[in-house]
Chains A and B, each alone.
Chain A
Amino acid sequence: MELAFIIEKFALILVIFLISLTVAAYSTLAERKIAGFLQDRVGPNRAGPGGMFQPLADGLKMFFKEEIIPTDSNKALFILGPSLALFTSFLGSAVIPWGQDIEIAGRQVSLQITDINVGMLYIFGVVSLGVYGIMIGGWASNNKFSLMGAVRAASQSISYEIPMGLSIIALLMATNTLSMKEIAEQQHGINWNFFYQPLGFIIFLICSFAETNRTPFDLPECETELVGGYHTEYSGFKMGAYMFAEYLNMFLASAVMSTLYFGAYNYPGMDWVNELTGPVIGPLIGMAVLMLKIFAFIFLFMWVRWTVPRFRYDQLMNLGWKILIPLAIANIVITGIVITIIDKL
């Protein structure tokens, strides 16, 4: 393997890692600002101009708080839980195509860390792995309320993985590929998958809300019923790790939805812009467009959180098993019929 390749990939990984951290950190501020806006108040405005340094202050606070590990807990697993939650939420960004290839000094530099030919399934695998962090943490706390939160998280995540997988199958039938790069390339201009798979997108969106434990599906943490949730016994930085993992997951889910259904880095008139700006600036504009789409989705996540009340647990299960799964299967059947008819014409 040549040195330039390694340096290029390493730099890309570093940049994407930093972007993920920054976006996740500022999502916490954005959430509180949006909550403030929706509830007709100001939101955090003390740290820095307009509260710009609030995430920094929060991070420092988390670091300097006392770390408490309960005496009866399983210490190794108690530490493993939040570490795993944070780790898995970083993994998914490896297969997202962040932009078209850039040309630097005659070299084609891909803006995707790796293009494995099962990229879509890889994302799915990472998502399904994410529940371990919550489950292990909840169990290791040796607290009944934590355990109940963990059990809720596990059953919710398993239930909503099924319609998510089924909606991906319908998308797969429409795109004929599992590679994220090819899916992004197929949606050139405004040829976005959303227009071919509107039902699939809505199912995927609902399942993303459930998989990231966001309202209206934030049953794993519930102050009124479970004291706190799976993280009741956590404090200091480990608690921060769980919270941060939630925001990272939201970022990843938004990136995946933008890539799969909303045309990744594609936008109408991109050929014209690319010709005008050359092979370096053009793809970077595409990346900025992708970021805009991601921010729009993150805003949607927050908007829903401060608008819609949460579900009851039986409603959650009914929605997953009795509505979303049949809908997703119907979506597959309809997609199949339409593809066959178009092929015959």
Chain B
Amino acid sequence: MSISLFYFVAFLTIFFALLVIFSKNPVHSVLYLIVTFFTFTLHYIMLNAQFLAIVNFIVYMGAIMVLFLFVLMLLNLNEGSVGSKSNLLKMVGVIAGMCLVITLVGSVKALNASDPLVLQTQDLGLVKNLGKVLFSKFLLPFEISSILLLSAMVGAVLLAKKDIKQG
């Protein structure tokens, strides 16, 4: 039951991820990407990681993809307006894609399928346990990553301001 459910959701994930790449209209692409993120949420729920599932839902589906859609709608890109890409760009794309394929094949080969990783405790992903671990064992990395996010935000605001002197 749960294995077949996993394969079904995994199939959906890959299917919509492919649609993201193959659809010509950028807005359709973003909408398929939203569905892909939703299938990620389903994966998290199946792993009993409710907190991660809902945070993925809020942050990626509810905030980041809204911004993507917002920008695309502001630019109002249509099917014809993207234009054909130059040969150099295509070459770069092929090389980058091949690098990704090699990495994926390598990691699949390194995977030891006969010895799967089993969760020690089933409710590890619940918000209480996650909070305890984040604020005790991983306190320093957690705080440092928050500073990283803050500096990224300040940097983005600085970049967005055209001229600081004018205010």
Contact = CB atoms under 8 A, between A and B. Distances in A.
A161 B62 CA distance: 10
Given A151-B73, A157-B66, A136 B58 contact: no
B40 to A, nearest CB: 13
Contacts of A124: 58, 62
Interface in A139-170: 139, 147, 150-151, 154-155, 157-158, 161
B61 interface: yes
Contacts of B128: 117
Interface stretch (A20-28, A126-134, A202-210): A126-134
Contacts of B57: 125, 129
A135 interface: yes
A50 B148 CA distance: 61
Classify the secondary structure of A's interface with B: helix
A178 interface: yes
Secondary structure dominating the interface of B: helix
Nearest to B55: A121
Given A117-B126, A136-B31, A131 B54 contact: no
A300 interface: no
B58 A135 contact: no
B8 to A, nearest CB: 20
A277 B85 CA distance: 75
A76 to B, nearest CB: 9
A122 B63 contact: no
B42 interface: no
A336 B66 CA distance: 32
B61 A154 contact: no
A42 interface: no
B74 A129 contact: no
Contact of A154 (B27, B54, B55, B69): B69
A345 to B, nearest CB: 23
Interface of B: 27, 31, 34, 50-51, 54-55, 57-58, 61-63, 66-67, 69-70, 73-74, 76, 126-128
Please name the 5 residue pairs, one residue from A and one from B, whose CB atoms are nearest each other, closest first. A128-B62, A125-B57, A121-B54, A125-B58, A118-B54
Given A125-B54, A127-B62, 7 more contacts: A118-B50, A124-B62, A128-B62, A129-B62, A132-B34, A135-B70, A158-B66
